[in-house]
Amino acid sequence: MDLSNSNTANNLSEAFAGESMANRKYLFFAEVTRQLGMSELSKLFRETANQETEHAFAHFRLMHPELVVGDVASLTEEQKKAIASRCLELAIEGETYEYTIMYPGFAEQARADRDGKAVVEFEAQQAESREHAGIFRKAAHNFGLLTHIENHHAQQYTEALQALEGVKASPKAASSDPATQKWICRQCSMIYDPTEGDPDSGIAPGTPFAAIPEDWHCPICGASKKTFVLYEEAVAA
């Protein structure tokens, strides 16, 4: 039965998104309550998060029956490769949407909201307006960083798909020039580009990674500087 254009297909998609969001939200709550020393409540949040994952998986199986694996032993290598390829295709599709449309649009809107909000709020309450402007500025900055991250993810998935299809990976290398040498966070994939710096953290554009203070942290996930490794990019032919 083709559900591609049905209301049920849309509902399954929304249900999957809702259950997925609930999973991450409850895991966040679990971490917060763990830090507060409330181990039983933290455990409850984690257990519920796992249940929400199962709900999301059930919805996704209905959305993509081509990915449902029954008897693995009965699958040929070509069938296995087709399933894995489909997973990568969907991953590439999602990451590409995020870095080409979603995050650039979010960043643009955040900048617009910051400016408009500041004008109104400064007239009423300067301190609150400054706080709001800072929040929106931070959001715009993070959306910009996430655009690069999702682009990186899409490239990784594309390379994995090409590998499945027998395409040899292009050689990669990190820049040897500290002025252009990029570094990537192993925890969240945030890419530090010295040409852009990290102005919100006081790191001016043009600052090589080695010159960043040791107490600097990843602006996305908060990981320490030592979590970053050299970022290798495809070498131009």
DSSP state of 74: G
Helix, strand, or coil (residue 217):
strand
CA torsion, points 148, 149, 152, 156, in degrees to nearest 10?
-160
Phi, psi of 204 (to 5 degrees): -70, 150
**pLDDT recorded at residue 234:** 80
CA of residue 55 relative to chain centroid, distance: 22
Q: The pTM is what?
A: 0.68
pLDDT digits (tens, 9 = 90+) for 87-135: 888 888 888 888 888 888 887 777 777 655 544 443 444 555 455 556 6
Residues in the chain: 237
The values of phi and psi at residue 115, to 5°, are -65, -45
- Structure token digits, residue 202: 């006081």
* C-alpha–C-alpha distance, residues 199 and 224, integer Å: 17
Residues 44-94: pLDDT tens digits?
999 999 989 999 998 899 899 999 998 999 998 888 988 888 888 888 888
Residue 211 CA to residue 198 CA, distance in Å, equals: 12
Confidence of residue 154 (pLDDT cuts 50, 70, 90): confident
